[in-house]
Amino acid sequence: MATRTSGLQPPAFSLVRFDGSYFKRPGVRLLGGIDEAGRGARAGPVVAAVVVTDSSCRIEGVKDSKQLTAGQREALYDTIRREAKAIAVGWASAQEIDRLNILQATHLAARRALAALSVRPDLLLTDWLKLADTEQPVEALVKGDARSQAVAAASVIAKVTRDGWMRQLDAEYPVYGFAGHKGYGVAAHLEALREHGSSTLHRHSFRGVDWFESEYRISATLEDLLGEIRKGGLKGRVPEEVWLERGNLLPDREFEMLSKAMRMERGAS
């Protein structure tokens, strides 16, 4: 085991050594590292990931996802999935963020990730996310993604997962350029908001979004579905069935819009 550790290069070695101090505690055989991606974005979900490691886990090259290129993160994503004892992802939608606030929505995403785990860690380490009401004790670390291998691995999983979703959603909302900026408040995104207004994917409680317009631009898929409803193409279907087939990662509020349109169509027929 010492040979494998000595083969790691900084900062990976220091992250492994940091986590090693926790494995010396009585009863700690599995560590769960938790981190999030997307807290500061103006659009899309906030995503949390939990990565479970044991004392033998060594992930070459892992560090805070913000210090890695997109290509490095993608390569590490596969390595982490191979080396970790367990991985799970949870998220909270833009609508949940607007309703709860971003901090509480991040906690919700983390709890959902924990609930999806196939194994239970003995201790949770987070990047300063002070989770409450968990089965395990939690230690919220300052700059945890730069100190702990498990937290750094979680930061990569969360970032790669969310970035992939935002690239898929770019085709649903092509005027905003989500594939490039992933929903963050860069100049091009703010300019698109000024020109086109906000969408159902945006966080309307965030600064820079509903300064401009309160009419929400819908996804291409919902626009197609509403067109089918007007033509009578979805008669006899239920919203949940249609949504499972077509909705995928689309916002919660769009399911509500679809359900309302289908109810109105049934009432009119």
Strand 31-37 relative to strand 123-126: parallel, antiparallel, unpaired? Answer: parallel
Chain segment 204-236, per-residue pLDDT in tens: 999 878 754 567 899 999 999 999 999 999 988
Average pLDDT, the chain: 92
Chain segment 149-193, per-residue pLDDT in tens: 999 999 999 999 999 999 999 999 999 999 999 999 999 999 999
Superfamily of domain 2-168: Ribonuclease H-like superfamily/Ribonuclease H (3.30.420.10)
The mean per-residue pLDDT over the stretch 246-254 comes to: 89
- How far CA 134 is from CA of 100, 112, 139, 140, in Å, comes to 19, 11, 12, 13
Position with higher pLDDT, 44 vs 265: 44
The mean per-residue pLDDT over the stretch 8-36 comes to: 90
CB atoms within 10 A of CB 40: 11
Chain segment 114-158, per-residue pLDDT in tens: 999 999 999 999 999 999 999 999 999 999 999 999 999 999 999
Q: How far apart are CA 35 and CA 106, in angstroms?
A: 9
| Predicted TM-score (pTM) of this structure | 0.92
Q: Where in the chain is the domain with CATH 3.30.420.10?
A: 2-168
